[in-house]
C-alpha cells in the first residue's frame, strides 16, 4: 500500500535533458517508489492527490540561506517553503550559531544582527542559546523541521570560540590546532563544510572586522585540508571581489582553498550586466584556476531580482559605501543636519564613485515607497529622478528633502539596473556555464531590507509567462538536481524511484510570487519583508505534506542534513 499517489499531473522530474510528461507518482515510507504511466501504479494508495492541470516537480534546493536562527522559531523557514523550497543550506558566509561558549552569545547575536540584518530582539527571544557544540546545535533542530536543512560550519564561530575576545589577530600554532580540532568535531557531527568571509563589508556589532577576517591564509588552507577528511562536504567563501572583481590574490586563494579541500567552493553573488561582459569572464577565472589545482569554484547567481529597500533611518547597504557609515551612524537630528549640508553630500558622492556599489548612490533611480508625513503623500510610488527634474534639483538633494519630512523613516526602493533584453540574454548564457549555480537568495537574512527567497516561483513564472529565457524543465533542473548534486544531497533533487519524496505541485497558469509586503511577525514583533506564493498547491517533504493550498499542515518531516549520512560525493570532479 502506497502512502500517496499523485495522479494526473505533468511530471517534470528535475533531470536534464528531460521533457515534462503525464505520469503518476507513487510514494511510500518517505520515498518515491514509482513513476508510472497515468493510471498504471501497481499499488493502491492510502491517499490520492489529484494533480490534474498541475506540474509535479522535485522541491527546490536553496543553496545560500541564513536560516540558522529562524528555524528555531519557524520550522517552515518561511517564506522559502511557501515557494516550494524543500531543502536549504545555511551557515553561510562564515556565520553560524555554533560552536558557541555561553560568554559569546551576546557577541554572536549582535554580530548576526549587524552582518545578516536579523533583528536583535528576534535573536534574543526566538532561540534558547543552550547549545555549545555544533552537534548540540543540530540536535536542537532534529524533529522540529518542516523542510530539510543543512549547515556549513562558520569560521567566525570557530575563531571566537578558541580566541575569545582576543580574535583580532592571527592564531598561534597551538590555537590553530584547537581551531582545527573544533572544525573536525563539527564536521563529524554533520556540518556540511566550512564557510568563511574576508570581505571588508563584514563588521561585527562593535563595528570591528568579524573574526574570520583576521585569519591568515595558512589558517584557511589548514582548515580546508580538514574538510577533505569528511565525505559529502564543501566550502563557501566571501571575499571583497565577489561584489566587483576578484583581485589576482583572491582568485588564487579561492582556487587553492578548493584544491586543498578537494571539494567544490561556492561564492556569491555573481551580478550580470550587459555593459560589463568582461566581468563575467574575469570572475570565472577563479573557476578555471581551481580546475588547474584539482578544485572547483562555483559562482552563485540569481535568476530574478531580489526586492531590496533602503532607508536613511537605520542600517542598510548605503552604509557600505566608502565613508558613508561615518555620516550615517549617528542620531537622527545630527544625521539630518549632515545630510542637509551640500558640502557633506558632495563629499559622499565623490567617495561613492570609487566603490563597486556606486549604483546605490544613483538616487535618480529610486522609487519612493511608504511615506509617513502629509507632505510626502504626493511622492508615494514616484521616481526620485522625475521629482528632482521638476524641482530643478539634484536627486540626492531631493531624496534628502523627502526623507527629512518623515524623520528619515521613508522606505526607498532602488530600481534594478541591468534590466534590458541584452542583460537577460547574457544571464541566460551564463547560466549554461558548468561552474555557475542559480541561487544566492540570502533567505533568512537582511529581513527588513531584502527579499530574495521567492526566486523559485518568480523564476518559474518568468520562464512560463514572462521572458521565457529557458524551458520549464531546465528551470526546474537548475533549481533542484544541480544544487542537490553540488552539495551531494543523497537521493534528492529528482523525482525518480528511490529518491526522497520532496515534491512541489504548482499550477503553471498561475505560479508566481506577490510583490514584497512588510509583516511584523518575527519574535518581538519585529519587522520583515515577505512575498506570498501564487499557484503553489502542495509541498511534500520526505513523503509527507507540509503545505496544502498555502496552509501549513503542522507536519514536521524535515531532516537535519548531516554530512556523510545525508550527503556524499561532492568531489570536485563530479560532472554535472
Binding site for Zn ion (CB under 5 A): 92-93, 442
According to DSSP, the β-strands at 450-451 and 307-308 are antiparallel
Cβ proximity of 277 and 423 under 8 Å = no
Compare residues 210 and 352 and give the one whose CB is closer to Zn ion.
Answer: 210
In whole angstroms, give the CA distance from residue 546 to residue 443. 19
Q: How many CA atoms lie within 13 A of 146 on its CB side?
A: 26
Nearest to 407 by CA among 376, 380, 383, 369: 376
Q: Which is nearer to Zn ion, 305 or 372 (CB)?
A: 305
Residue nearest to Zn ion (CB): 93
Give min distance, CB of 5 to Zn ion, in A. Answer: 39
Give me the least distance between CB of 264 and Zn ion, in Å please.
Answer: 17
- What cell was used for 526? 519585529
Q: Are 561 and 90 in contact (CB under 8 A)?
A: no
In angstroms, what is the minimal distance from the CB of 397 to Zn ion? 34
The residue among 442 and 481 lying less far from Zn ion, judged by its C-beta, is: 442
Minimum gap (Å) between residue 234 Cβ and Zn ion: 15
The whole-angstrom separation of Cα 56 and Cα 5 is 12
288 Cβ contact list (under 8 Å, min separation 6): none
With respect to Zn ion, which residue has the nearer C-beta, 202 or 544? Answer: 202
Contact criterion met (CB below 8 Å) for 26 and 34? yes
Q: Are 319 and 328 in contact (CB under 8 A)?
A: yes
Phi then psi for 275, rounded to 5 degrees?
-80, 0
Cβ at position 153, least distance to Zn ion in Å:
15
Cβ at position 440, least distance to Zn ion in Å: 8
| Closer residue to Zn ion in complex, CB, 442/473 | 442
Q: Which is nearer to Zn ion, 455 or 506 (CB)?
A: 455
Contacts with 466 (C-beta within 8 Å, 6 or more apart), sequence order: none
For residue 66, the minimal CB distance to Zn ion (Å) is 6
Helix/strand/coil for 501: coil
Contact 31, 73 (CB under 8 A): no
- Closer to Zn ion at the Cβ: 70 or 398? 70
Measured from the CB atom, the residue of 64 and 160 that comes closer to Zn ion is 64
| Whole-number Å distance between alpha carbons of 263 and 297 | 9
Q: Provide the minimum distance between the beta carbon of 94 and Zn ion in the complex, in angstroms, as a whole number.
A: 9
Count of alpha carbons within 13 Å of 508, Cβ hemisphere only?
Answer: 21
Amino acid at each position: 500500500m502506497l502512502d500517496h499517489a499523485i495522479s494526473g499531473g505533468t511530471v517534470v522530474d528535475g533531470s536534464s535533458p528531460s521533457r515534462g510528461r503525464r505520469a503518476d507518482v507513487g510514494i511510500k515510507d518517505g520515498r518515491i517508489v514509482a513513476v508510472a504511466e497515468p493510471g498504471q501504479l501497481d499499488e493502491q494508495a492510502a491517499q490520492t492527490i489529484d494533480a490534474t492541470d498541475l506540474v509535479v516537480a522535485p522541491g527546490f534546493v536553496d543553496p545560500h540561506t541564513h536560516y540558522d536562527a529562524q528555524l528555531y522559531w519557524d520550522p517552515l523557514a518561511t517564506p522559502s517553503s511557501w515557494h516550494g523550497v524543500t531543502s536549504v543550506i545555511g551557515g553561510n558566509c562564515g556565520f553560524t550559531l555554533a560552536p558557541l561558549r555561553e560568554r559569546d552569545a551576546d557577541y554572536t547575536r549582535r554580530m548576526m544582527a549587524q552582518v545578516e540584518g536579523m533583528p536583535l530582539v528576534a535573536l534574543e527571544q526566538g532561540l534558547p542559546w543552550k547549545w555549545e557544540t555544533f552537534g548540540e546545535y543540530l540536535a536542537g533542530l532534529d524533529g522540529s523541521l518542516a523542510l530539510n536543512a543543512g549547515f556549513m560550519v562558520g569560521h567566525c564561530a570557530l575563531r571566537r570560540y578558541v580566541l575569545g575576545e582576543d580574535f583580532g589577530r592571527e592564531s598561534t600554532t597551538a590555537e590553530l590546532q584547537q581551531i582545527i580540532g573544533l572544525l573536525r568535531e563539527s564536521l563529524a557531527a554533520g556540518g556540511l563544510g566550512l564557510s568563511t568571509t574576508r570581505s571588508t563589508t563584514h563588521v561585527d556589532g562593535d563595528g570591528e572586522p568579524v573574526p574570520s577576517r583576521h585569519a591568515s591564509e595558512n589558517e584557511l588552507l589548514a582548515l580546508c585540508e580538514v574538510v577533505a577528511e569528511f565525505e559529502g562536504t564543501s566550502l563557501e567563501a566571501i571575499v571583497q571581489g565577489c561584489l566587483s572583481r576578484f583581485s589576482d590574490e583572491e582568485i588564487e586563494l579561492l582556487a587553492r582553498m578548493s584544491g586543498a579541500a578537494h571539494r567544490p567552493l561556492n561564492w556569491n553573488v555573481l551580478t550580470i550586466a550587459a555593459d560589463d561582459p568582461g566581468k563575467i569572464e574575469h570572475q570565472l577565472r577563479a573557476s578555471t584556476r581551481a580546475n588547474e589545482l584539482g578544485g572547483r569554484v562555483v559562482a552563485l547567481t540569481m535568476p530574478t531580482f531580489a526586492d531590496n529597500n533602503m532607508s536613511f533611518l537605520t542600517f542598510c547597504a548605503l552604509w557600505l559605501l566608502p565613508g558613508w557609515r561615518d555620516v550615517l551612524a549617528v542620531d537622527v537630528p545630527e544625521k539630518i543636519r549632515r545630510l542637509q549640508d551640500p558640502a557633506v553630500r558632495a563629499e559622499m558622492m565623490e567617495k561613492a564613485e570609487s566603490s563597486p556599489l556606486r549604483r546605490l548612490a544613483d538616487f535618480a533611480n529610486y522609487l519612493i515607497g511608504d511615506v509617513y508625513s502629509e507632505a510626502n503623500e504626493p511622492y508615494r510610488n514616484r521616481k526620485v529622478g522625475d521629482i528632482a527634474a521638476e524641482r530643478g534639483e539634484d536627486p540626492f538633494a531631493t531624496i534628502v528633502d523627502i526623507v527629512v519630512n518623515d524623520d528619515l523613516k521613508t522606505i526607498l526602493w532602488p530600481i534594478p539596473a541591468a534590466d534590458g533584453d541584452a542583460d537577460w540574454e547574457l544571464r541566460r548564457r551564463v547560466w549554461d556555464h558548468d561552474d555557475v549555480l542559480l541561487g544566492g537568495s540570502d533567505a533568512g537574512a537582511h529581513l527588513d531590507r531584502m527579499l530574495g527567497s521567492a526566486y523559485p516561483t518568480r523564476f518559474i513564472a518568468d520562464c512560463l509567462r514572462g521572458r521565457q529565457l529557458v524551458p520549464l524543465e531546465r528551470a526546474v533542473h537548475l533549481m533542484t538536481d544541480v544544487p542537490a548534486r553540488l552539495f551531494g544531497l543523497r537521493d534528492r533533487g529528482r523525482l525518480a524511484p528511490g529518491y526522497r519524496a520532496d515534491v512541489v505541485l504548482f499550477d503553471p497558469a498561475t505560479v508566481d510570487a506577490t510583490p514584497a509586503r512588510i509583516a511584523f511577525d518575527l519574535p518581538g514583533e519585529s519587522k520583515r519583508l515577505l512575498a506570498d506564493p501564487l499557484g503553489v498547491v502542495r509541498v511534500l517533504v520526505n513523503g509527507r505534506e507540509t503545505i496544502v493550498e498555502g496552509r501549513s499542515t503542522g507536519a514536521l518531516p524535515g531532516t537535519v542534513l548531516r554530512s556523510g549520512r545525508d550527503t556524499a560525493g561532492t568531489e570536485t570532479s563530479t560532472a554535472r
